[in-house]
DNA sequence: TTGTAAGCGTTATCAT
DNA sequence: ATGATAACGCTTACAA
C-alpha cells in the first residue's frame, strides 16, 4: 500500500503538501495539486484512515447502541443511520444494550473506548442523570426516541402523546364509544405519553375514562393476550381495543380469535409502531406509524452537523406519528 | 487520558514493559507486572486502540456486509456476530450491500478501507469469481449463507436442499399428495437447492413431479400471491402449498383468504426461514427454521479462530434446517 | 527480564 | 504556497 511519503516523492513535494491536497483545506497552487493528484492516481494511493485518526484525533466513526440488533424497530433505525453516515464517508460501529442498565453502560464504555467521534443512543434502562453526566464528557451523544429536557438539542423523539391520541381518535371516528386500552409499562416514558394521548382523545369527545378499560402490560405479544383476557373477564361491552404497540396487538388478535371473536366485526384493533409484520397480520393491522428510519437518519444528520460540521438542511428534533389505516377497524357509523 | 508513557513513568519502568504487561505476551516478572498494573489503575489508564492499530497493523475490528440492515433475517445474523465478537473485545462495522453488485463491491471496498481485520459477507449479487479473487487479497473473508467450493473453509451455509426436502416431506407425512411449490428466483443458489429438495421428497414417495405444480417467483409477499393465483387458475386439485420462504407464504395466505379459502382446511401451507413474523400470522405458519443467528455466531468464531488465533471449540460450516410445526398444515391422514 | 529506539502513516505547527 | 519536523500513542526488534 502506497503511503503519503511515496506520493510526495513521486510528485516531488513535501509530505505536508500532499496532506494539504488530501484535506483540501489550505490553499495549494493548481500546478502542485495536479502533480500530487497524478502521483496519487499512479500509485493507487489510499489514505490510511487509522493513521489519520491517530494524528487528527478523529476516528471518522460513530457508535450506535441499540437495545437489540435484531427486531424490526432497531433495524429500521440502524438502517437510517448507516445510509446517511456512509454517504458522508463515516462508518458506524454497532453494539447492543439489551435494555439492561449494566449492559447499556458497558456498551457505551465500549463505544467510547473505540474512540467514536459521536455516539447515537437508543437506551431504555439508563437514567436521565447518567445521560446528562455522559453528555458532559468528551464524546457527543445523540438520543433517539427519548427526550431529556436538558439535552433537547441532542434528542430526537416521537410525539407519543399525539400518537396515542390519534389511535383512539381514529376509533372514535369509526363510531366506537367503548374503547379498551392496553398500555405499555408505565415506567417507560413512551408508554406513559401514549396513554395520556388516549385519555385526551376520550375527554375531547366527552367519553368517560374508565379504569376498567385500561390494562397495563409488557410491550410483548403475551401482554396483549393477558390484557384481552382481562377485559373479556370483566365483560365490558367494548367494541374496540387500542394497543400501545403492534406486538401487543398481535397477541390480542391471536387471543381474540382463539376465543371465537371475529375480527374486525366483533372487535376492532389498532396498534402502534407499524413494524413490518403489521401488514402480514390477518386482518392487516391498522396502526400508528413510528418513523424510526427517518429518526435514525436525522440522528445521523445531527452528528454530521454538530460533530463534523457538515451543513445540513432542516434539522428536526420531534417527529409526528401518522395513521396507517388497514383492515382491523370496523366502521360502526 | 493517560498514556502508556505516564504509566511507565509512574511505575518506573520502560514503555516496552508496560506494553508487555498489556499484551501479556512476553514474560514479565510478577513484581514489575504488579507495579505496572497498580500504576495503570491509579491513572485510570485505557489503551488507545487507534494507536495500537497503527503500530500493530491490526484494527481489532471486523466488517460485516449484509444486504439490508433492517429485515429479520439480517438482524438475527448481525446479532449473532456482534455478541460473539464483542465478548472477545473486537468491534463490528456494518455496511449494507442492497443486493446490488456495484453497491456490494463498494461496501466491501469501504470495509477494506477501514482496515478491518476480517470481513463477514452476506452477498447476493457478486460473482463467485469476484469472491475468490477477493479472498486472495490482504483481508480474510467469511461467507455466510453462501457456498463457494474453492472457499469452503471460509463458508458457512445452510443445507437448503435438505430444507426443501423436509418441507415437502412434512406435507407428505400429513397425507398430502397434490403439492404445489412456489420456488424462489432460480438465479439464486438457495432457491435452486430448495426446489431440488422438494423434488427429491416427491420422488422418494413415488409422487409425480408436475411442472404445473411449480411456479417461480420473487422471494416477496407478492410472489406468493402471484403463485397462488396461477395455481388456482390452472385448477389443479392441490391440497398443499410449499413456499420457498416465509414472505411468499404470507402473501399466499392473504391471497387464499381473499379468495374464500379457509386455512388450513382448504389449503395447507408451509414456509421457509422462520422469520419473526411467521408466528404472528394466522394461522401460525409452520416453517423450516433457518438458524441465521447461529450462523452469524459461527462466522464470528471462525474469524476469532482464523484471524485472531483464539482457539474455538467445534467449528461448523454447514447447518441443518429444522421443522417448526405450527398451525398451517391440515392433517389428512 | 527489562530497556532503547525505530517505526506505523498521518496531521499540524512552525518557519520560509 | 510550500517545506521541515515534531507530535499522535503504541508495538516490536534488538540490545543489554
pLDDT tens-digit profile of B293-328? 999 999 999 999 999 999 998 999 999 999 999 999
Domain CATH code at residue A276: 3.40.50.2300
Residue B154 has pLDDT above 70, yes or no: yes
Whole-angstrom Cα distance, residue A264 to residue A281?
A: 12
Model confidence over B193-247: pLDDT tens digits? 999 999 999 999 999 999 999 999 999 999 999 999 999 999 888 999 999 999 9
Show Cβ contacts of residue A93 under 8 Å, excluding neighbours closer than 6 positions.
Answer: A61, A62, A63, A64, A111, A114, A116, B61, B91, B92, B93
Contact between chains at B50 and A48 (C-beta distance less than 8 A): no
The span from the CA of B207 to the CA of A176, in Å, is 54
Which nucleotides of chain D does any protein CB come within 7 A of?
A: 1-13
Tell me, yes or no, whether A327 lies in a domain: no
| Residues of B whose CB is below 8 A from A69 | 75, 78-79, 82
- Asked whether residue B324 is assigned to any structural domain, the reply reads no
Q: In terms of residue numbers, what domain contains B44?
A: 4-55
Nucleotides of C under 7 A from a protein CB: 1-13
Which residue in A has a C-alpha nearest to residue B222's C-alpha? A280
Looking at the structure, tell me whether residues B151 and B266 fall in a common domain: no
Segment among B14-18, B176-180, B223-227 with least mean pLDDT: B14-18
Q: Indicate if B167 and B21 belong to the same structural domain.
A: no
3-class DSSP assignment, residue B309 = coil
Q: Which residue matches cell numbers 463458508?
A: B155
**A86/A178 same-domain check:** no
Residues in B closer than 8 angstroms to A46, CB to CB, are 113
Question: Can you list the residues of chain A whose pLDDT is less than 50?
Answer: none
Mean pLDDT of chain B: 95
Q: What is the CATH number of the domain that holds B20?
A: 1.10.260.40
- Asked if the Cβ–Cβ distance from B82 to A76 is below 8 Å, we say no
CB B142 within 8 Å of CB B118:
yes
Q: Decide: A268 and A239 in contact? Cβ < 8 Å.
A: yes
| Digit-coded pLDDT (tens) for B75-113 | 999 999 999 999 999 999 999 999 999 999 999 999 999
Q: What is the CA radius of gyration of chain B?
A: 26
Q: Domain for residue A264, yes or no?
A: yes
User: Looking at the structure, do residues A193 and A209 belong to the same domain, yes or no?
Assistant: yes
Whether nucleic acid strand C comes within 7 Å of the CB of B50, the answer is no
Q: A45 and A87, same structural domain?
A: no
Nearest to A50 among B83, B115, B282 (CB): B115
Nearest to A161 by CA among A130, A187, A200, A113: A200
Spell out which chain B residues touch chain A, with contact meaning CB-CB distance below 8 angstroms: 46, 48-51, 53-54, 59, 61, 68-72, 74-76, 78-79, 82-83, 86, 91-96, 110, 113-115, 221, 250, 253-254, 257, 276-277, 280-282, 284, 293
Which residues of chain B (28-57) touch nucleic strand D at CB < 7 A? 47-48, 51-52, 54-56
Give pLDDT, residue B331.
97
> Which one is predicted more confidently, B278 or A73?
B278
The CA distance from B249 to A277, in Å, is: 13
CA-to-C1' span, B92 to D5 (A) = 36
Q: What is the pTM (predicted TM-score) of this model?
A: 0.93
Number of domains in chain A: 3
Determine the 3-state secondary structure of B273 from DSSP.
strand
Q: In the structure, how far is the CA atom of residue B304 from the C1' atom of nucleotide C2, in angstroms? A: 32
Nucleic strand D within 7 A of Cβ A32: yes
Nucleotide nearest to A16 (CA to C1'): D3
Q: Is residue A331 part of a domain?
A: no
Neighbours of B148 (CB within 10 A): 17
Per-residue model confidence (pLDDT) at position A25: 67
B268-270: strand order across its sheet: B214-216, B179-183, B240-243, B268-270
**Interface mutation vs chain A, best among B94, B114, B116, most A CBs within 10 Å:** B94
**How many Å apart are CA B65 and CA A92, to the nearest integer?**
12
B168 lies in the same domain as B207: yes
Cβ within 8 Å of residue B136, ≥6 positions away = none
DSSP-derived secondary structure for B162-195:
HHHHHHHHHHHHTT--SEEEEE--TTSHHHHHHH
Strand D proximal to A27 Cβ, under 7 A: yes
Residues of chain B positioned with their CB less than 8 A from the CB of A93: 61, 91-93
Alpha carbons B114 and B92: distance in angstroms, whole number: 11
Whether residue B172 sits in one domain with residue B80? no
Question: pLDDT at position A132, please?
Answer: 98
Distances from the Cα of B274 to the Cαs of B122, B188, B241, in angstroms? Answer: 18, 19, 16
Q: State whether B281 and A280 contact (CB < 8 Å).
A: yes
Same domain flag for B306 and B226: no
Position A26 scores a pLDDT of 67
Whether residue A282 and residue B115 make contact (CB cut-off 8 A), yes or no, is no
Name beta bridge partners: B268: B240
Residues B74 and B188 in one domain: no
Contact B274, B319 (CB under 8 A): no
Instruction: Kindly state the cell numbers that stand for A120.
Output: 447515537
pLDDT at B236: 81
Does at least one atom of strand C sit less than 7 Å from the CB of A89? no
For an interface test with B, the pick among A280, A293, A327 (most B C-beta atoms closer than 10 Å) comes out as A280
Alpha carbon B328 to its chain centroid, in Å, reads 26
Residues 8-27 of B near strand C (Cβ < 7 Å)?
12-17, 20, 26-27
Cell triple for B11: 511505575
Tell the residue number behind the cell numbers 396487538, with chain if given. Answer: A249
**A250·B280 Cβ contact <8 A:** yes
B31 CB below 7 A from strand C atoms: yes
Cβ-contact B234, B211 below 8 angstroms: no
pLDDT at A28: 84
Sequence-distant (≥ 6) Cβ neighbours of residue A27 within 8 angstroms: none
What pLDDT does B23 receive?
Answer: 87
Q: Are A114 and A59 in contact (CB under 8 A)?
A: yes
Cα-Cα-Cα-Cα dihedral sign, residues A324, A328, A329, A330: positive
What are the residues whose beta carbons fall under 8 Å from the beta carbon of A192, sequence distance 6 or more? A186
CA distance B167 to chain A (A): 21
For β-strands B91-96 and A91-96, DSSP reports them as: antiparallel
Q: Does residue A326 belong to any structural domain of this protein?
A: no
- Residue to mutate among B46, B49, B50, B99, with most A CBs inside 10 A, is B50
pLDDT at A24: 77
- Shortest distance, CA B28 to any CA of chain A (angstroms): 26
Locate B128 and state its grid cell. Answer: 463467485
A49 is near strand C: CB distance < 7 Å:
no
Q: How far apart are CA A251 and CA A264, in angstroms?
A: 15
**Which tens digits make up the pLDDT trace of A98-123?**
999 999 999 999 999 999 999 999 99
Q: Answer whether residue B122 is part of any domain.
A: yes
Q: What is the CA radius of gyration of chain A?
A: 26
- Protein residue minimizing CA–C1' distance to C13: A16
User: Which residue in the block uniquely carries the three cell numbers 461496501?
Assistant: B107
Alpha-carbon distance of B198 to B157, in angstroms, equals 19
Residue B273 included in any domain:
yes
Q: Is the pLDDT of residue B25 over 80?
A: no
B166 and B92 in one domain? Answer: no
| Structural domain contains residue B331 | no
CB within 8 Å: B96 and A79: yes
Q: Are residues A242 and A144 in the same domain?
A: no
For A281, the closest chain B residue by CA position comes to: B281
Backbone torsion region of residue B172, taken as left when φ is above 0, otherwise alpha when ψ lies between -120 and 50, otherwise beta: alpha
B146 and B166, same domain (yes or no): no
The contacts of residue B279 (CB under 8 Å, 6+ apart) are B285, B326
Q: Which cell is A184 given?
A: 405499555
pLDDT for A5 equals 92
Closest of B273, B277, B275 to residue B290, by C-alpha: B273
B84 contacts in chain A (CB < 8 Å) = none
Strands A214-216, A179-183: parallel, antiparallel or unpaired by DSSP? parallel
Residue B1: per-residue pLDDT: 80
Strand D close to A30 by CB, under 7 A: no
Amino acid at each position: 500500500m502506497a503511503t503519503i511519503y511515496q506520493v510526495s516523492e513521486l510528485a516531488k513535494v513535501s509530505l505536508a503538501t500532499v496532506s494539504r491536497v488530501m484535506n483540501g483545506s489550505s490553499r495549494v497552487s493548481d500546478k502542485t495539486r495536479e502533480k500530487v493528484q497524478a502521483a496519487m492516481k499512479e500509485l493507487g494511493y489510499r489514505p490510511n484512515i487509522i493513521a489519520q485518526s491517530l494524528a487528527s484525533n478523529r476516528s471518522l466513526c460513530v457508535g450506535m447502541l441499540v437495545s437489540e440488533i435484531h427486531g424490526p424497530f432497531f433495524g429500521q433505525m440502524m438502517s437510517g443511520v448507516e445510509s446517511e453516515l456512509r454517504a458522508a464517508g463515516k462508518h458506524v460501529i454497532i453494539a447492543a444494550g439489551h435494555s439492561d442498565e449494566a449492559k447499556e453502560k458497558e456498551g457505551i464504555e465500549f463505544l467510547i473506548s473505540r474512540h467514536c467521534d459521536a455516539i447515537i443512543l437508543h437506551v431504555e434502562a439508563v437514567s436521565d442523570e447518567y445521560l446528562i453526566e455522559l453528555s458532559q464528557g468528551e464524546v457527543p451523544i445523540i438520543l433517539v426516541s427519548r427526550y431529556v429536557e436538558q439535552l433537547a438539542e441532542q434528542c430526537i423523539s416521537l410525539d407519543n402523546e399525539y400518537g396515542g391520541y390519534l389511535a383512539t381518535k381514529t376509533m372514535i371516528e369509526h363510531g366506537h364509544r367503548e374503547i379498551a386500552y392496553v398500555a405499555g409499562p408505565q415506567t417507560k416514558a413512551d408508554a406513559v405519553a401514549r396513554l395520556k394521548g388516549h385519555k385526551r382523545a376520550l375527554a375531547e369527545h366527552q367519553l368517560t375514562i374508565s379504569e376498567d378499560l385500561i390494562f397495563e402490560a409488557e410491550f410483548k405479544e403475551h401482554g396483549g393476550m393477558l390484557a384481552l383476557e382481562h377485559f373479556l373477564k370483566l365483560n365490558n361491552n367494548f367494541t374496540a381495543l387500542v394497543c400501545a404497540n403492534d406486538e401487543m396487538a398481535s397477541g390480542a388478535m391471536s387471543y381474540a380469535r382463539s376465543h371465537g371473536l371475529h375480527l374486525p366485526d366483533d372487535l376492532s384493533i389498532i396498534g402502534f409502531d407499524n413494524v413490518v409484520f403489521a401488514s402480514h397480520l390477518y386482518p392487516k393491522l391498522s396502526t400508528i406509524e413510528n418513523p424510526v428510519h427517518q429518526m435514525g437518519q436525522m440522528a445521523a444528520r445531527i452528528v454530521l452537523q454538530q460533530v463534523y460540521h457538515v451543513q445540513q438542511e432542516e434539522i428536526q428534533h420531534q417527529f409526528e406519528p401518522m395513521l396507517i389505516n388497514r383492515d382491523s377497524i370496523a366502521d360502526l357509523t
